[in-house]
Amino acid sequence: MNILISLPLFLFVGSVKLEIEAPSKRLNALVILADDGGFEMGTYRNKICQTPNLDNLAKNSLIFNKAFTSVSSCSPSRAALLTGMPSHQNGIYGLHQGVHHFDSFQDVKSISKILKENGIRTGIIGKKHVGPDNVYPFDYSQTEENNSILQVGRNITHIKLLTREFLNTTKPFFLYVAFHDPHRCGHTNPEYGEFCQRFGNGEPGMGSIPDWQPIIYQPDELELPYYLPNTWETRLDVAAQYTTMSRLDQGVGLVIEELKASGHFDDTLVVFSSDNGIPFPAGRTNLYDSGAAEPLFVSSPLHEERKGQITNSLASLLDIVPTLLDWYGIKYDASIESNEVDSVLTGKSLLPLLEKEPSDKSKEIVFGSHNLHEITMYYPMRMARTQRYKLIHNLNYYSPFPIDQDLYLSPTFQDILNNTKTRRNTFWYKTLAEYYKRPEWELYDLKYDPEELNNIVKKNSSQEIFKVLKDRITEWQKATNDPWICSPHGVLENVGRFKDNPQCLGLDNVW
């Protein structure tokens, strides 16, 4: 099969000029990222979880209803956000730390590196979780690499003071504040609770975070999302998550107050989102909407037109780098000498959406690319999502879907596991067997099946859209130099006599 095909995608190729010139006033940017955060906030109609600071930020922002991560896994999603390249393109295929040790390719151009080269002061506070340092350099760096992650990621008073220290500058800046809330910590720091909800709460041995006012939630009052089992164990689990969502919210409020106190609120683009889905079954590591959909606010002091409004236009975290380049008026130069990296960006700037909603969204599409989470969790997937349809390609579909360590020990998953073993009702929207055993292709009509339960890929009436989305995934894989482009039914040959005519050569087996 010849894989050289036309590419009707949003691409930044070569020295492409972005849409706007940098205004005469020096501009800054602040990106705030939650860790495994979801839609547990008033802005997204959660009536229980108290998030007044995030809700106030939303009122000053364009609110995205259909924003998605390109990969639902911690390090890969952060690398994708900071490079504008999906996991398979930038080289971080799975978690960065310890034995996993995934790094981006040496020639990848991250946003921090590009901005440093253009005289903009760069800073990171909180969770970094990507490498190597020469690909992700920051002028100011307070992360888990030189601090306790609990202190730089959850101690909101400490985060406030670090933010104040960074903002004491006369240079234009880019600051990336990556909270560790509401990530689970039960299997690493169980003394603080499943979500570290007791860390810094003033109880004996827990320490105290001066700026944090802990909020305790009642499990019986919660409104669970459709993809979580309606059990008491899950309700207790989610209640703990809500407590840390409120700590995140209070931390975001402190960071915004520091921005205002520095005098830069009126010249700073503020972006808030999360890296991937929540750490529950069907959440993180999944490319279903329950694992890939993300909150996203974009607040611009130069765009008053749509503050507090909602957009239903599709957006991807791959759009953050093009948006920041657009904001600073910087050209993106994709010309590098590397056999490993094709530096084309397939995202688009989100700034035009701050002015008006597109009249036609029918051609909008976002893509997903997952390979691993933990080193043992090899389950490559590719995804294309339009306004109405989603297609998922499970490349390793003969294997059961893998479960990560902290989710496995969580009360929610243990309850599903134990109820399944004893053949009791799990009160879940799927069986465990359905969750583990996935077909090669999953196609969903989101208009009639938003919970993604009815796979229509084999229906005669679905064959046209199946082919269209399948081709679009292949086009995107080609544009982003995806080494998995021929998997699982062929072998990519693209060197030697195939250098100028790359081919997927079939395995001629029984599949």
Answer yes or no: are the C-beta atoms of 247 and 181 closer than 8 Å.
Answer: yes
- The amino acid sitting at 211 is D
Residue 387 to residue 385: CA distance in whole angstroms: 7
- Contact between 263 and 169 under an 8 Å Cβ cutoff? The reply is no
| Residue that is written with structure tokens 């599709």 in the block | 314
Residue with tokens 């299997």: 187
The number of beta carbons lying within 10 Å of the beta carbon of residue 187 is 14
- Mark whether 504 is an active-site residue: no
The two counts, helices (H) then strands (E), for the chain are 13, 17
Cβ-based neighbour number of residue 401 at 10 Å = 17
Strand, helix or coil for residue 163: helix
Cβ 138 vs Cβ 123: under 8 Å: yes
* Cα Dmax for the chain: 69
The 3-state secondary structure of 41-106 reads CHHHCCCCCCCHHHHHHHHCCEEEEEEECCCCCHHHHHHHHHHCCCHHHHCCCCCCCCCCCCCCCC
Residue 496: how many CA atoms within 13 Å on its side-chain side? 3
Q: From CA 297, how far away is CA 43, in angstroms rounded?
A: 10
Residue 30 contacts residue 269 (beta carbons within 8 Å): yes
CA dist 357 and 176 (Å) reads 27
Cα–Cα distance, 7 to 476 (Å, whole number): 7
Compute CA distances 7 → 80, 177, 350, 352, whole Å: 21, 35, 21, 23
CB atoms within 10 A of CB 46: 18
Which secondary-structure segment (H or E) carries 311? strand 310-311
Catalytic residue among 74, 185, 196, 486: 74
CB 338 within 8 A of CB 362: no
CA 137 to chain centre: 20
> What span, in angstroms and rounded, lies between the C-alpha atoms of 362 and 497?
40
Which residues are identified as catalytic?
Answer: 74
